[in-house]
Amino acid sequence: MKKRIIPVIVALALILIVALVGFGGMILDKYTYSKELADLDQYFGVAQGELAIVLQDGMVEEKALLREDTVYFDIDTMKKYLNEGFYVDAAEQKLLYTTAQDTVATAFGAREYSDKGGSHPTEYATCLLEGEKVYVAAEYVRLFTNFSYERFDRHIQMYTQWGEKQMLEVVKDTQVRTLGGIKSPILRELEKGEKVELLNRMETWSEVKTSDSLIGYVENKRLDNESTEVEVPVTDYVPAEYTSLSLPGKVSLGFHAIGGEAGNETLDAMVAEGKGINVIAPTWFSLNDNEGGFRSFADSGYVERAHGYGLQVWGVWDNFNYKNETGEDISTYQVLSSTTKRQQLARNMVDTSLGLGLDGINLDYEGLPQECGEHYAQFLKELSVLCRESGLVLSVDSYVPFNFNNHYRLDIQGRVADYVIIMGYDEHWHGSGDPGSVASIDYVSNGLDRTLQEEQVPAEKVVNALPFYTILWQTEGAEVSDQYITLANVADYLQRMNVQPAWDEETCQNYAEWQSGNVTYQIWVEDAESISVKLNVMKAKNIGGVAVWRLGYGTEQVWDLVSAYVNS
């Protein structure tokens, strides 16, 4: 019996020993620090020739390139994080940057750039074309941008903002790991006395950034002696200040619609009507081909006569009148997307204006597609440089801002132009088939608020254009037609129709609706009452002035209101 029990006891003991060893191994494994090294290529997500970007205290998804020991950003990454002011002309293989005083140019692959001061060599290629992407050298970007970067094996550390950071000292040799936990792979060893930046403190681990910008986790028990360091901002680049030309008081501009050279003879009548105006803007110039040419009804004698009345003359340059008159297919995109055509047009506009003795340029480019936005913005910058150095006032006509027309870039207009004229009308427009007000008070007021928000356009540069016309809507079944009626004629028309409009508080306009046969007529009237309300809103917002579309449409009573607003 005893002999039979002994083997069983031995077997049980062996099982127990194996179990204890296994359990001990599990315990040991659980509390033993992993020595696995992280794959840094995988950690940074880079291939050969790429560098990860650590921006401030986080890694972004975009990568930089390393070519010939030079760091490059692709154009979209550079615009997103550093400076959106660069302009690429892929067809002409040029990279441009326009400041307040100059347009700096370089060619793809070039080791130099040029400005008014001539050609300047660089030790690196300023920009590269790889595949369909343009890459810009970090050092070239730094010529126009305040940022810092430091290069490491697989990444760069980049700063665009500077402030205070919390630092911790490593009090015992340890490791920084990819995640919080002793089994997480090691990014690198940390030695006692090193300092790391505290990003996020947790219960037993803290997220930190090392001196070589590895972001990982360290046990709290290995860290102590918290301190604060103040970062020194980089101010290598000091941009030239945008200066502006402005009138002594509020702008009071009357658009003078001229459809031919004979229209210049109506100047005296327009001035006689436009009580209180200090600027007249004749619609003289219109884009007439895809090369940047324009037709002109300009007359230097007109300018001299207007000056005799004490008026400034801002010639209007548009992109639609010639096209509408002739039916020719004129592409503003083709002109503005070509650096050669665009710059030649700007130069010719300024030279023509100076030759005529004009005081300013009024740019009225309408109907631009979304894809034309960056080219239009560059055109405004380049034109503004020429106007600034020539002493010409640059005013730009813009729509009431909405999301669908934000490619007109009111923020850039507000920086580079002297005045931004918001066309505060066409809420409902001729041919839209949608009866409604041309310019309700909410449309005007909210449009100005969006223009002024976050100082997108400084208030003193904002001019609101008033409509001296309204639209008569005619609805018969599903068919809607319309016709313009000038402010000067609307009262007479309503009297002949034997219609008495009533004040509509929502639009702050007099409204009339009547039936004749199967046709319903509707009209939201522009008159002295509606214009007065708009002027009061403009006065409350303290903007830079008023414009009127157009001379020849007004009444003495309304012009008295405009004059009082300007002189208030």
Domain termination site, one of 176, 203, 230 = 230
Which residues make beta-bridge pairs with 159? Answer: 148
* CATH for 218: 2.30.30.40
Residues of the chain with pLDDT under 70: 1-4, 7-8, 10-11, 13, 16-30
The backbone torsions φ and ψ at residue 437, rounded to the nearest 5 degrees and listed phi first, read -70, 145
150 shares a domain with 166: no
**Cα 349 from chain centroid?**
25
Domain that holds residue 188: 162-230
Judgement on whether residues 144 and 176 belong to the same structural domain of the protein = no
> What tokens were used for 344?
């030649």
Residue 15: per-residue pLDDT: 73
CA distance to 40, 72, 104, per residue, from 143 (Å): 32, 14, 11
Amino acid sitting at position 126:
T
Residue 548: inside a domain, yes or no?
no
Strand order in the sheet with 86-89: 86-89, 94-98, 103-107, 112-115, 118-121
Last residue of a domain, one of 155, 184, 205: 155
Q: Is residue 360 part of a domain?
A: no
56 and 135 inside one domain: yes
Q: What does the DSSP 8-state code read for residue 37?
A: B
Which of 155, 176, 191 is a domain's end point?
155
Residue 94 burial (C-beta neighbours within 10 Å; 0-12, 13-18, 19+): middle
Looking at the structure, tell me whether residues 172 and 149 fall in a common domain: no
pLDDT at res. 16: 66
Distances (CA, A) of 384 to 243, 389, 408, 414: 10, 9, 15, 11
Question: For position 400, what pLDDT does the model report?
Answer: 98
For the chain, what is the domain count?
A: 2
Task: Please report, for the domain that includes residue 65, its CATH number.
Answer: 3.30.457.10
* Predicted pLDDT of residue 17: 66
